[in-house]
Amino acid sequence: MKEIWITLATVIIAPLVGGVITGIDRKITARMQNRFGPPILQPFYDLFKLFSKETIVVSNTQILYAFLFLVFNIVAVVMFVLKMDLLLILFILAFATTALILGAMATNSPYSRIGAHRELISVLAYEPVLIAMIVAIYFVTGSFNIEDILKHNSFLILDLPFIFIAFSYVLTIKLRKSPFDLSTSHHGHQELVKGITTEFAGPVLGLIELGHWYELVLLLLFVWLFFAKNIFVAIAAILICYFIEIVIDNISARLTWKIMLRLTWSVAFGFALVNLIWVYIKYRLL
Amino acid sequence: MVNIYLLLIFLPMIAALFIYLINNSNFRKAIVFLMSAVLISASIYSISQGDRLLRLSHSLNFALEYLITFADYFLLAIIFLIGTKLKNKLISLLAILQFVFMFVFEFKVGKLEVENIFFVDHLSFIMLLLINIIGPLIAIFALSYMEEHEKHLHLEKSRQNIFFAIIMLFLGAMNGLVISNNILWVYFFWEITTLCSFLLISHDQNEESIKNATRALLLNSIGGLSFVIGIIFMYYKSGTVALNEIISSQDSSILMIPIAFLVLAAFTKSAQMPFQSWLLGAMVAPTPVSALLHSSTMVKAGVYLVLRLSPVFIDTWLSKIVAVAGSFTFVSAALLAIFQSNAKRVLAYSTISNLGLIIALSSIANVYAIYAAALLIVLHGVSKALLFLCVGSIEQGIGSRNIEDMDGIKYKMPIVAFLTLLGSVSMLLPPFGVLITKWIAIEVSTQNIVAMLEIILGSAFTVVFWTKFIGKILSDGKDKNKIEKFEFVKHIPLMAISILVVFVSIFLIQFTNTFVVPFFKSSFARYSGVSSSNIKELYVKDFFGFNPLVFFGVLVAAVVLGTLIYRWFKPKRYVPVYMSCENSDNFGFRGEKDRVVPFEFKNYYFETLTNEKTVTLIVNILSIALIAIMFGVILK
């Protein structure tokens, strides 16, 4: 019974948090660009407007994929809050992305298809790092279950600093922020138009937008995991981490997918690997 | 009781003889249907009899022993002759070496008594189900496929009698392979599958198919030789050639050398790196052959052997290296699949990759790893059979097996496209079982960090190539004319297999408890207190909290909910894709003077980054090094 309440609460609260954070993001970004910026609740107004619009599609199946993207993201967040298996959550998250990619590929639009493939390349870049992160957490805490991971008696970050750096690195890709906003960007006038979401409009785009908010919350919950010992430290860490992401977004230009792939596989995965090996030796061999 | 097992082996072989002799299409159809019914019911009946060690009556045993020994030499002689005919000295040499080793061995040790001639346990059941359900379904599909195939080839005289005869022989040999207790018999059936695969790959008798068949024969002969050496060592180390005694043998360390040779043989048969090239070459054969080789026969013989022997070598240094080698194949084949635009090659690499995972799982010392290995054999078998048959149908429909030509296939061939989608989704997404085995693989491989890293990377690659494939099947195409007509003989087997694909995943827990757990309990009795634990304790309720039934339930609920929501979102208006409003339709834009310029978009194959050849070279070198390490470890 308790689980059902938690689930309901998560489903309602998570998008609110995600939306507000997105609003703050837009405000800060605007200030950095010497603009006044929209009100913090603007993302909600946008979403309501999207849902009030008439449904326009290129292909019927797009609706299904947008829906699946949303559902998988919700499931992932709920599973996290219910403290289930971390690896499974990651898989579910990957399927949300897969649904989005398939949705973009369902039409014959070159823009959205290129976006889809770039998203696929992003998956190739960040997925190993994320799995490595989870395995490293396993080595330290001896469990894949969030329930048990939270029982760990110190800050995870102390054992996994490099993993955290690698994670922050791929967070930029996952949040589709510059310099890795390859598959879609927050501005519609770039060479890809809106990339992966080009062909989505109205309520269907609204579903995806909503899905992104859940995704954002989930990613920030991953940050929280590293500082879970103390809730205040965790909130501070999340805020700092997200602020840094915004700064990076605003000071960097987009890189090509090749550079992204090379950097993630060498630098980020390298960092993750080093940390992974040391916790393996520390907790398994010693 | 024994008769049912003899029937499973020899009836298909006798049927093969009749099919070969009577080259008549209706007769052939009748026999194929009849044999399908017999094989399916016989295998189910034999399973209902439970685990068994069976002995034959003395005279029958004696006769069979001589028959098989004689047939074995005869088989090697045939392979030798094929080698000379192909002017491939290496094949002949390997055949001679096998012949000589075998002969000297049998001459020196005299008659090898194996009391219990059949050793049937739950692993055999799993294999029997796979062989005798999927195999006949593929054969039925082939009835329609080969008609079409020969029409394309414009043959004067049908060669279908040879084709179906070999398939029947193949199924009989596979049955023999999985229920024989005498490892010499296993070797004999193993060699039959080698010969059958050669004949099937070279079926079209053109230059390319003969070349590829030769390669398959060569690589599998290496495996054959390795098998013979393994048997000889096995006998001298343990004094027995009976599988059941070897498995329950208490001292595993002395058996490392024979096991290593047998594992190498399994590597060749299961097309592990660096032996993968023969399976890719096998793609030139008619599609039912690929489906058969990839799903229920041939390559599964290799992983079956590793899983069968795993109680002996699990938790040793050898097993650690084998796990690394297996997961190396998993990651490198998945990487190679990303570069492929040929649908069959994508499927082939995916098979190799999954077999690598099965081998890795078979050698990781964990209960769940063994469960996952056994499950993956089945899950992969059904899904791959479906996928190959679908791709074959698509090829006959649109005249191409290139993924890039599959735009709009969902309009052209809706049934097959949907089934292809089902097959590929079952290899990638939840709630299908393949995903669960990958998940288990990561969770249990944490004790072997190298294997674990390989599995992590491989799992990311897998997502990429499957998503590309699925995306293409679902994509829009210009040509929307339906070309598919419902054909009973062709579509019914496809649908039957797809129902199996869904069923196995839905009832994964029940399947595990019925088949996999008893196998684990009986075979791994020696292993960390399994024998003392109650079989109930070994049952799974879910996989780390993931219950497929619940998940399928959620999925059904989601579909219902989705349909309701769809009513709300029901599109009011359809628009063309966005091309700055300069497009006439979805497939072109207005250029200068309003001339329509068509556009198209192809999948990324990362050609600018690297290519298949370079990666293959590197991978082959590394995998040879791994095999060298594997043999280095066992030498003291």
For A134-186, give the secondary structure using H, E and C: HHHHHHHHCCCEHHHHCCCCCCHHHHCHHHHHHHHHHHHHHCCCCCCCCCCCC
Contact B463 A123 (CB under 8 A): yes
The band of B636, judged by pLDDT with boundaries at 50, 70 and 90, is: low
Return the higher-pLDDT residue of B480 and A121. Answer: A121
DSSP B453-503: HHHHHHHHHHHHHHHHHHHHHHS--S---------HHHHHHHHHHHHHHHH
Q: Which two tokens stand for residue B188?
A: 């004999």
Measured distance CA(B591)–CA(B598) in Å, rounded: 9
Instruction: Give Cα separations from B229 to B223, B257, B259, B612 (angstroms).
Output: 10, 10, 10, 34
CB of A138 less than 8 A from some CB of B: yes
| Mutation for testing the B interface, residue in A3, A70, A135, A256 having most B CBs under 10 Å | A135
Residue B254 has pLDDT above 90, yes or no: no
Position B443: which residue type? E
Q: Which structural domain range is residue A244 located in?
A: 1-285
Residues on chain A touching B477 (C-beta within 8 angstroms): 108
Kindly report the backbone phi and psi dihedral angles of residue A164, in degrees, each rounded to the nearest multiple of 5, phi listed first.
Answer: -65, -40
**pLDDT tens-digit series, residues A130-142:** 989 999 999 999 8
Contact B446 A273 (CB under 8 A): no
The band of B633, judged by pLDDT with boundaries at 50, 70 and 90, is: confident
Kindly report the backbone phi and psi dihedral angles of residue B574, in degrees, each rounded to the nearest multiple of 5, phi listed first.
Answer: -105, 135
| Partners of residue B585 on adjacent β-strands | B588
Residues on chain B touching A120 (C-beta within 8 angstroms): 464, 467-468, 604
Number of domains in chain A: 1
- The answer to whether the beta carbons of residues B374 and B432 sit under 8 Å apart is no
Query: Which range (B99-103, B158-162, B346-350) has the least confidence?
Result: B158-162
Q: Which two tokens stand for residue B578?
A: 């966005």
Measured distance CA(B215)–CA(B530) in Å, rounded: 43
Mention every residue, 6+ apart, whose C-beta is less than 8 A from residue B160.
B23, B25, B28, B146, B147, B150
Q: Give the position of tokens 């029937």.
A: B7
- The answer to whether the beta carbons of residues B12 and B32 sit under 8 Å apart is no
Measured distance CA(A26)–CA(A217) in Å, rounded: 16
Measured distance CA(B479)–CA(B498) in Å, rounded: 27
Residue B575's CB is within 10 A of a number of other CB atoms, namely 12
Put residue B529 in one of left, alpha, beta given phi > 0 → left and psi -120 to 50 → alpha.
left
Q: Which two tokens stand for residue A71?
A: 């559902």
The confidence score (pLDDT) of residue B593 equals 79
What burial class does residue A12 get, using C-beta atoms within 10 Å of its C-beta: 0-12 exposed, 13-18 middle, 19+ buried?
Answer: exposed
Residue B570 has pLDDT above 70, yes or no: yes
* Of residues A55, A88, A105, nearest to B474 (C-beta): A105
Scan residues 405-434 of B and list those with Cβ closer than 8 Å to A: 407, 428-430
Query: Which range (A9-23, B54-68, B438-452) has the least confidence?
Result: B54-68
Residue B119 has pLDDT above 90, yes or no: no
Q: Which two tokens stand for residue B632?
A: 């280095």
| Across B100-112, average pLDDT | 83
Contact A55 B471 (CB under 8 A): no
**pLDDT tens-digit series, residues B170-192:** 999 999 999 988 888 899 999 99
C-alpha distance across the termini of chain A, in Å: 43
- The answer to whether the beta carbons of residues B164 and B40 sit under 8 Å apart is no
Question: How close does chain B come to A236, measured CA to CA in Å?
Answer: 31
Q: Which one, of B579, B562, B337, B332, lies nearest residue B457 by Cα?
A: B332
Measured distance CA(B630)–CA(B306) in Å, rounded: 14
Model confidence pTM above 0.90: yes
Q: Which two tokens stand for residue B121?
A: 């346990």
Q: Which two tokens stand for residue B461?
A: 């690659």
Q: Which one, of B49, B51, B45, lies nearest residue B518 by Cα?
A: B51
- How far is residue B339 CA from its own chain's centroid? 22
Measured distance CA(A185)–CA(A180) in Å, rounded: 9
The confidence score (pLDDT) of residue A235 equals 93
| Across B375-401, average pLDDT | 90
- The answer to whether the beta carbons of residues A59 and A201 sit under 8 Å apart is no
Instruction: Give B579's DSSP letter.
Output: S
Which secondary-structure segment (H or E) carries B590? strand B588-590
Instruction: Give Cα separations from A56 to A202, B268, B576 (angstroms).
Output: 7, 54, 10
Residues on chain B touching A76 (C-beta within 8 angstroms): none
Instruction: Give B297's DSSP letter.
Output: S
- The answer to whether the beta carbons of residues B215 and B278 sit under 8 Å apart is yes
- How far is residue A259 CA from its own chain's centroid? 20
**pLDDT tens-digit series, residues B331-344:** 999 999 998 888 88
The confidence score (pLDDT) of residue A11 equals 92
- How far is residue A160 CA from its own chain's centroid? 20
Q: Which two tokens stand for residue B16?
A: 């093969």
| Across A157-177, average pLDDT | 91
Q: Which two tokens stand for residue B338?
A: 């990303």
Q: Which one, of B387, B447, B442, lies nearest residue B419 by Cα?
A: B387
Position B407: which residue type? D
Question: How close does chain B come to A87, measured CA to CA in Å?
Answer: 7
Residue A14 has pLDDT above 90, yes or no: yes
| Mutation for testing the B interface, residue in A60, A82, A107, A108 having most B CBs under 10 Å | A108
- The answer to whether the beta carbons of residues B424 and B387 sit under 8 Å apart is yes
- The answer to whether the beta carbons of residues B247 and B311 sit under 8 Å apart is yes
Q: Which one, of B258, B270, B372, lies nearest residue B318 by Cα?
A: B258
Measured distance CA(B32)–CA(A258) in Å, rounded: 53
∠ CA A37-A219-A234, rounded to 5°: 90
> Could you tell me what percent of chain B has a pLDDT over 70?
99
Mean pLDDT of chain A: 89
In total, chain A counts a number of residues equal to 286
Question: How close does chain B come to A113, measured CA to CA in Å?
Answer: 7
| Across B605-625, average pLDDT | 87
Residue A177 has pLDDT above 80, yes or no: yes
Q: Which two tokens stand for residue B435?
A: 């995903």
ipTM here: 0.90
The band of B352, judged by pLDDT with boundaries at 50, 70 and 90, is: very high
| Across B132-144, average pLDDT | 91
Residue A188 has pLDDT above 70, yes or no: no
Measured distance CA(A34)–CA(B276) in Å, rounded: 59
| Across A12-38, average pLDDT | 92
Q: Which two tokens stand for residue B622?
A: 């590394």
Q: Which two tokens stand for residue A235?
A: 């909130």
CB of B565 less than 8 A from some CB of A: yes
- The answer to whether the beta carbons of residues B206 and B197 sit under 8 Å apart is no
| Pairing of β A56-57 and β B573-574 | parallel
Contact B456 A106 (CB under 8 A): no
- How far is residue B556 CA from its own chain's centroid? 30
Q: Is the peptide bond before B576 cis (omega within 30 degrees of 0)?
A: no
Position B471: which residue type? G
Measured distance CA(A158)–CA(A279) in Å, rounded: 11
Which secondary-structure segment (H or E) carries B594? none
Contact A63 B407 (CB under 8 A): no
Residue B342's CB is within 10 A of a number of other CB atoms, namely 16
∠ CA B224-B230-B232, rounded to 5°: 110
Residue B405 has pLDDT above 90, yes or no: no
The confidence score (pLDDT) of residue B574 equals 81
Residue B323 has pLDDT above 90, yes or no: yes
The confidence score (pLDDT) of residue B22 equals 86
Q: Which one, of B324, B281, B208, B184, lies nearest residue B633 by Cα?
A: B324
DSSP A17-77: HHHHHHHHHHHHHHHHTT-----TTHHHHHHHHHHHS--EESSTHHHHHHHHHHHHHHHHH
Contact B573 A54 (CB under 8 A): yes
Measured distance CA(A52)–CA(B567) in Å, rounded: 15
Instruction: Give Cα separations from B187 to B97, B225, B243, B310 (angstroms).
Output: 15, 10, 12, 18
* Of residues B449, B470, B609, nearest to A280 (C-beta): B449
